[in-house]
Amino acid sequence: MATMRRLIPLKPSFPPADKFRDECGVFGIFQHPEAANLAYLGLHALQHRGQESAGIVSSNGGAMRACLGMGEVSEVFSRESLEMLKGDRAIGHVRYSTAGQSNLINAQPLKISSHRGEIAVCHNGNLVNADEVRRRLEREGSIFSTTSDTEVILHLIAKSRQDAVEDAVVDALRQVKGAYSLAFLTRDRMIGVRDPFGFRPLSLGRLEGATILTSESCALDLIDGEFLRDVQPGEVVVVTKEGMTSSFPFEKTPVRQCIFEHVYFSRPDSRVFGRSVSLVRKRLGAELAREHPVDADVVVAVPDSGTYAALGFSDESGIAFEAGLVRNHYIGRTFIEPEQAIRHFGVKLKLNPVRELLEGKRVVLVDDSIVRGTTSRKIVSMVKSAGALEVHMRISCPPTVGPCYYGVDTPNRGELIAATHSVDEICRHIHATSLAYLSLEGMLRASGGGDPEPFCTACYTNDYPIEFPEQQRAQMELPGS
C-alpha cells in the first residue's frame, strides 16, 4: 500500500497557477456605525482579487486603528480584532502582490502620520514609475518602510504644499504614472480616485446613508447595499459628513479599462465598467461560437471562469451545455500528496471529469485563456481519459502574447505559450482535436456592446497605453532574443 507522506506547504493555487493572477480589491465605507464589520464582509466578497494579505483601518474621526495580516480574510480577522476596529468609517484591502514582496509590511491599508494627521490608503493597480519616484524621494530624504509602490503616493502627499488633503492627493497622483483605483481615509474624509485611463474598476454604493467605495459591485450585494455608479476614469470623489463632491482634476487621456476584468478577473455577479460581467462573458462565448463553429455533442466549461462563455457558446450553437468538469472548491491550505505517482495530481485535485457526461462524446471545451499551456494540456488529457472522442478547445479571448504592467501578475512574455507558438503548435502541444481563440474584434464587440472600445488590450496586442521603464523591458524578452 502506498504511504501518504508528502506535505506540500503551499496553498494549491487559487486561482490556478496557469492563470493570470488577480491584483487587489479595495473597499471603503463612510458614516456607518458598523463600518469595520461591513468592510470585513465587503472584503470577503472581493477575496477572489487577492488572497495573500488583508487589512482594515478604521476610525471614528480620532486616531485610526488597524488590523492587517497574511492570508485570507477569514484567517486575518477574528471577532476580537473586529471589535477593536471601532468607528463609523473604514477602508479595507485584499492583496495579491504585483509590486513589492508578499509580506506583512506590504499588506494594506498603508498608513502614515504626517502634518496633515493620519492618512491611510488602499490601492488596486500598479505604478509604472514608482521606482523612479522613490529614488528621487529617497535622495530628498524620505525613508520608506515598505517595498510597495503604493507608499510613494503617501510620501508625495506628505510632501505636497497643497493645504487641502484632496488637493495634496491630486498633486501626488499627478507625479505618478500607471494604474490606480484608490480609497483614502483621513481624519474627516474618505477619498476615492480612479486613474485617468480607468484601468481598474471602482464603484460607488450606498447603505443606510453611508457611502461605499468598492472594487466590484458584488461586495454591495452581500451587505444589501445599493449600487450607485462607477467612479469614472480620472474622477476624484471626496466623502465627508456633509456629503460627496466629485471632480476631474487630471489631464484627459483616452480611457483604457482592463478588458481582462471582463474576460476573467471580476466576479460574474459584478457590474464592471458599466456592464454585467456574466452577460459580457456569455456574449464572448456566443461570438466564439459564431467565429469558430464546430460539430460536437456537448459544450463543457473549464469551471469556474469558463462557465458563462460556455453557456454563451451553447446558446449560440444550439449544442447542449453539460457540467462535464466539476471543480472542488474546498481544498485546504495544505494537503498531502501520496508517494504513489498520480497523473496530473494538482489539476485533479481541483477538477474532476464526469465520465457519464463525456464518454463517447465530441466535446467543445471552453476556457477563458491559455497562459503557459501546461494546465490546458492536463485538462484536455483528463477529458479524453473520461472517454471523450474529440476535444475541441475554444478560448473566449485572443492569444495572450504580452505581460501586464498595470496591476496584474503575469509571467514574462517568454513563458506565454502564444508569444512563441502558433495556434496549430499550441493545439498539438495541448493534444486537442482543434483549438480556436476569439478574435480581438469579437472580444471588443462582446465587451463594448458595439461602442467605441475604451479598453486596454495590451496583453493581446503588445500595444501598451502607458510606456513602461526600460528596466522592466526584460519581461518582454523572448528566449534567445
Question: Which positions lie near ligand SF4, rule CB under 6 A?
Answer: 199, 258-260, 404, 406, 408, 456-459
Contact 181, 134 (CB under 8 A): no
- Which residue's CB is nearer to ligand SF4, number 195 or number 235? 195
Cβ at position 441, least distance to ligand SF4 in Å: 15
Buried b (16+ CB within 10 A) or exposed e, 370-382: bbbbbbbbbbbbb
Nearer to ligand SF4, 68 or 459 (CB): 459
Three-state SS for 454? coil
Smaller CB separation from ligand SF4, 108 or 457: 457
Q: Which is nearer to ligand SF4, 40 or 460 (CB)?
A: 460
Q: How far is the CB of 310 from ligand SF4 (least distance, A)?
A: 22
**Selected catalytic residue, list 24, 218, 404, 427:** 24
Please state, in angstroms and rounded to a whole number, the distance separating the CA atoms of residues 39 and 25. 11
Q: How far apart are CA 134 and CA 128, in angstroms?
A: 11
Set of cell numbers at residue 278: 456574466
Is the torsion defined by CA of 306, 307, 310, 312 positive or negative? negative
Q: Of 308 and 455, which CB lies nearer to ligand SF4 in the complex structure?
A: 455
364: its cell numbers: 467543445
> How many Å apart are CA 61 and CA 168, to the nearest integer?
20
Task: Give catalytic status of residue 218 as yes or no.
Answer: no
| Cell numbers for 93 | 484591502
Which grid coordinates belong to 300?
463543457
- Residue 317 has, within 13 A of its CA and on its CB side, a CA count of 31
**Would you call the peptide bond into 109 cis, given omega within 30 degrees of 0 as the criterion?**
yes
Q: Note whether 200 and 219 are within 8 A (CB).
A: no
CA 449 – CA 453 distance, rounded (Å): 9
Separation of alpha carbons 312 and 336, rounded Å: 38
Looking at the Cβ atoms of 321 and 464, the one nearer to ligand SF4 is 464
Cα gap 89→105, rounded to integer Å:
23
In the chain, the amino acid numbered 114 is S
What DSSP character marks residue 20? P
Element (H, E) at 436: strand 434-437
Return the number of the residue (258 or 288) whose C-beta is nearest ligand SF4.
258
Min CB(326)–ligand SF4 separation in Å = 28
Between CA 425 and CA 430, with CA 428 as vertex, the angle to 5 degrees is 110
At 109, list the grid cell.
Answer: 491599508
Closest approach of Cβ 258 to ligand SF4, in Å?
Answer: 3
Min dist. Cβ of residue 200 to ligand SF4 (A): 8
Distance CA(109)–CA(94), nearest Å, equals 9
DSSP letter at 408 equals -
User: Smaller CB distance to ligand SF4: residue 114 or 253?
Assistant: 253
For residue 404, the minimal CB distance to ligand SF4 (Å) is 3
Q: Which of 197, 207, 180, 202 is nearest to 88 (CA)?
A: 207
Locus of grid cell 484632496: 166
- Catalytic positions are 24
